[in-house]
């Protein structure tokens, strides 16, 4: 079982933090290409009205090596970070360079302790993470009563190339595209590490996870022990985990799901997820969930067979320890239900071909109520300004 390796992180510098003496102000705060998103976030954290940051079309990347490109901690609770137009947040200093070029941050966005569901990240493409690790500019946080419980360890640094969520934190992530992020351990796109402060789930709505990779667990989303997530109308396609478990075993002494490997979504013991109307296809394995009380409804899992053959076991669609919450899901692959825990009367195994279009939307009318569909609309400029 994958166990947390915890070590002391010292010598951390404060992330960008303009003077606390600046007067309260009113948003929205606009950011254009070449300007500083973090500065706008910090301004919004001190605003007494309209704590909204609107980032205009363009590609934004970190100027210097750092723990994260953008940092939201408890003082940013309730801030809304919204993309207007086509906005890319890249982990690479030169986003036009090849995907193999080095990134400059561990995580594109870090959501720290003390964020409620009122904190919103909406409309961005997040890309470019590829295993960079540094302890430079780790944000200083005050955990209060949670100080003795929350531990910043290996997973804090290495997991979650696109997004790292840590502590009592439950932001809302809406209409975000996580594309081609990679880590050197787990959680290629997203890592959720609430460490038991999981009363409120991290929420993902209308999100795309495509082409994310990691050598360990949870190529798209890794839900570590004591965490929770709510995933609604999301698409998972072409996400690959498992390709470096031997190296992880040598370097960290960690093993997990050795026989068949892990999926695009990994849920650890002591965690739970609520997944509705989502599609998993062309991943290396669909879902592995060793928690209790998870719910999966109206999901489509189709041919998650993108293995490289390095695991002795064949790829699967679901590996769910507690299958009692799986309902109205349509499942088809080389191995549909690895553990045989999913009720076949409540779900449909070996369904007809969904006949995906180029956006992985089923054209087969039988699937009208199953799986992901593109969101109907995005906020207008007037809505953003109000």
Residue 19's pLDDT is 41
Domain of 315, in residue numbers: 233-249+259-376
Predicted TM-score (pTM) of this structure: 0.90
Q: Look at the chain and report how many structural domains it folds into.
A: 1
Residue 11's pLDDT is 40
Examine residue 196 and state whether it is found in any structural domain, yes or no.
no
Is the pLDDT score of 8 beyond 70? no
Alpha helices in the chain (DSSP H): 37-45, 154-158, 245-252, 381-385
Residue 95's pLDDT is 58
Examine residue 122 and state whether it is found in any structural domain, yes or no.
no
Model confidence pLDDT, tens digit, residues 278-307: 999 999 999 999 999 999 999 999 999 998
Residue 223's pLDDT is 99
Model confidence pLDDT, tens digit, residues 189-235: 999 999 999 999 999 999 999 999 999 999 999 999 999 999 999 99
Q: Residue 7's pLDDT band (boundaries 50, 70, 90)?
A: very low
Model confidence pLDDT, tens digit, residues 239-261: 999 887 777 777 777 777 888 99
Neighbours of 343 (CB within 10 A): 12
Examine residue 107 and state whether it is found in any structural domain, yes or no.
no
Is the pLDDT score of 104 beyond 90? yes
Examine residue 266 and state whether it is found in any structural domain, yes or no.
yes
Q: Residue 145's pLDDT band (boundaries 50, 70, 90)?
A: confident
Examine residue 300 and state whether it is found in any structural domain, yes or no.
yes
Strand ranges inside 207-339, DSSP E: 208-210, 221-223, 228-232, 235-237, 265-267, 272-276, 279-281, 287-289, 295-297, 300-302, 318-320, 326-327, 330-332
Examine residue 86 and state whether it is found in any structural domain, yes or no.
no
Examine residue 197 and state whether it is found in any structural domain, yes or no.
no
Examine residue 43 and state whether it is found in any structural domain, yes or no.
no
* CA 108 from centre of chain: 11
Task: State the number of CA atoms in the 13 A half-sphere of 154 facing the CB.
Answer: 14
């Amino acid at each position: 079982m994958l166990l947390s390796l915890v070590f002391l992180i010292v010598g951390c510098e404060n992330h960008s933090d303009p003077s606390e003496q600046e007067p309260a102000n009113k948003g929205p705060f606009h950011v254009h290409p070449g300007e500083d998103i973090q500065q706008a976030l910090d301004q919004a954290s001190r605003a007494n009205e309209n704590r909204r940051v609107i980032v205009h079309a363009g590609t934004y990347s970190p100027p210097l090596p750092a723990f994260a490109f953008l940092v939201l901690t408890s003082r940013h609770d309730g801030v809304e970070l919204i993309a207007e137009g086509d906005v890319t947040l890249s982990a690479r200093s030169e986003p036009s360079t090849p995907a193999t070029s080095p990134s400059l941050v561990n995580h594109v966005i870090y959501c720290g302790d003390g964020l409620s569901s009122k904190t919103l990240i909406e409309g961005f493409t997040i890309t470019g993470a590829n295993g960079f690790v540094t302890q430079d500019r780790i944000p200083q946080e005050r955990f209060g009563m949670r100080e003795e419980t929350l531990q910043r360890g290996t997973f804090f640094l290495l997991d979650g190339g696109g997004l790292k969520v840590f502590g009592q934190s439950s932001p809302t992530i809406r209409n975000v595209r996580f594309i081609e992020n990679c880590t050197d351990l787990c959680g290629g796109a997203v890592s959720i590490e609430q460490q038991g402060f999981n009363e409120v789930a991290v929420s993902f709505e209308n999100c795309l996870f495509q082409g994310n990779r990691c050598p360990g667990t949870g190529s798209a989303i890794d839900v570590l022990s004591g965490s929770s997530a709510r995933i609604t109308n999301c698409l998972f396609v072409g996400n690959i985990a498992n390709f470096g478990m031997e190296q992880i075993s040598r370097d960290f002494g960690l093993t997990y799901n050795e026989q068949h490997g892990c999926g695009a979504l990994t849920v650890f013991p002591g965690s739970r997820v609520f997944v509705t109307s989502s599609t998993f296809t062309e991943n290396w394995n669909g879902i592995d969930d060793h928690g209790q009380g998870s719910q999966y409804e109206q999901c489509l899992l189709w041919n998650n067979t993108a293995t490289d053959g390095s695991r002795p076991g064949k790829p699967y669609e679901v590996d769910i320890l507690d299958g009692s919450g799986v309902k109205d899901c349509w499942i088809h692959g080389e191995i549909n239900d690895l553990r045989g825990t999913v009720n076949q009367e409540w779900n449909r195994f070996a369904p007809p071909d969904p006949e995906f279009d180029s956006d992985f939307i089923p054209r087969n009318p039988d699937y009208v109520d199953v799986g992901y569909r593109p969101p109907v609309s995005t906020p207008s400029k007037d809505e953003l300004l109000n």
